[in-house]
Chain A
Amino acid sequence: DTAVSQTPKYLVTQMGNDKSIKCEQNLGHDTMYWYKQDSKKFLKIMFSYNNKELIINETVPNRFSPKSPDKAHLNLHINSLELGDSAVYFCASSLRWDTQYFGPGTRLTVL
């Protein structure tokens, strides 16, 4: 059973398009996160939700909008994609403030 899953695994799109990445966890966790890993492999948090409530909102362009329909799902919608958005996006989850477990990642390429 996959603990934290993301779709799609790869996403190739043109500049200016709008795209979404979906994340689901079946671990019974109550907190979910989005991280971005850039080309230099630096991993940085973007957002986190606890029980569907936004907890962390780092300095991220407002073109990025997370949505958590329930505790098990956290989606990321990106408007007006730019070249600099190309990266690997990881979803993670945890039980309250405990250890975070990562999904397999979504590699986004903006052309």
Chain B
Amino acid sequence: QKEVEQNSGPLSVPEGAIASLNCTYSDRVSQSFFWYRQYSGKSPELIMSIYSNGDKEDGRFTAQLNKASQYVSLLIRDSQPSDSATYLCAVNKVEYGNKLVFGAGTILRVKS
């Protein structure tokens, strides 16, 4: 079982729709969770971090965490073509020196 699992996609949504990206993780002691966005040929860019169960909103982005189900999600409201990228879910293993374990990423395509 992979430590962090994501559906590779591509996930295609029309412009203006809500994009829902999902991630599951295997290590129950994980405490910090991150969503990075990576455009083709560019470096990962942090868009959301979440540490507690529930929802965290930042502009058009909402991260959701459910530690009991070991599940993290990212919702993008009013999706724009500029949101088209690969979204990487990452789990922080502080007990291993702040080691970030990444999922394989979900490709999102927003069609205008």
Contacts and interface: CB of A to CB of B under 8 A. Distances in A.
A99 to B, nearest CB: 6
B59 interface: no
A55 B49 CA distance: 23
Contact of A48 (B46, B97, B104): B97
Contact of A31 (B43, B44, B98, B101): B98
B56 to A, nearest CB: 14
Interface stretch (B10-18, B66-74, B88-96): B88-96
Interface residues of B, number: 22
Contacts of A41: 38, 86, 104-105
Interface in B27-74: 34, 36, 38, 42-46, 49
Contact of B46 (A56, A96, A101): A101
Contacts of A90: 43-44
A86 interface: no
B98 A97 contact: yes
A40 B104 contact: yes
Interface string A38-55: 001111110010100001
Interface stretch (A12-20, A63-71, A77-85, A102-110): A102-110
Contacts of B88: 43
Contact of B44 (A44, A48, A97, A102): A102
Interface of A: 31, 33, 40-45, 48, 50, 55-56, 90, 94, 96-97, 99-105
CB-based closest 4 A-B pairs: A55-B97, A102-B43, A97-B98, A43-B102
